[in-house]
Amino acid sequence: TWCAKYREEYIALLLQYDTHSLNPARVRVPLSNLPEFSKAFNCEPPKNTCTVCGTGAQGFSVVNALLEHGKYRIRAVAKSTDNRKALLLRGKGAELVRANLDSPDACKAAVKEAHGVFLVTNFWEHHDEDREFKQGKNVVDACIEGGVKHLIFSGQENVLKLRGYACRDPRISTLRPRARLLNIRSKIVFDEF
């Protein structure tokens, strides 16, 4: 189990409460049947997370941070799985998946069994706003169908700061109500880095 490495600590914990179990061999309780043990040692099974555009600037940073955290099984989705960044992520333990975001079926396969998804769309790849929206929608629909619990969508630059005027992004007004309608908890935060 995930908690096998904590067996000795668990035995010590049991001994604090049960002075009759002085022999560690007598401890025959399966660790998986002890929810309080899981809580005490924070031993939940690793959750699957998926980062779409996992080899881009934002996605690569997110994947690295999650890998360093160590509590997640990471799937990095990219259009190419054999470039330098992809190989680095694979070497650190991430699963690399090649997916075409234009294909709803590829998006479904990419987010399959994921607990959470970090989504970045790549307008700069094709300079086509409608296509970018469709790709994002394909991933959101795949998340809904696949039962993903958390979806984070990260946008791009601060248009107000760059251009001097506000820009209303139709993706937010379209995707947010759809997410609410289909039972995805949504929170929109505008920030800049």
Tens digits of residue pLDDT in 38-81: 444 445 666 788 888 888 888 898 899 889 888 889 999 998 89
Alpha-carbon distance 131 to 152, whole Å?
Answer: 19
Among 175, 46, 47, which residue's Cα sits nearest to residue 121?
175
> What's the CA angle centered on 82, arms 79 and 83, to 5 degrees?
85
Fold of the domain built from segment(s) 29-190: Rossmann fold (3.40.50)
pLDDT band at 33 (very low <50, low <70, confident <90, very high): very low
CA distance 116 to 155: 17
Q: What is the domain partition of the chain in residue ranges?
A: 29-190
Query: Which of 46, 63, 44 lies closest to 54 in space, CA to CA?
Result: 63
Q: Is the pTM of this model over 0.85?
A: no
Of residues 155 and 12, more confidently modeled: 155
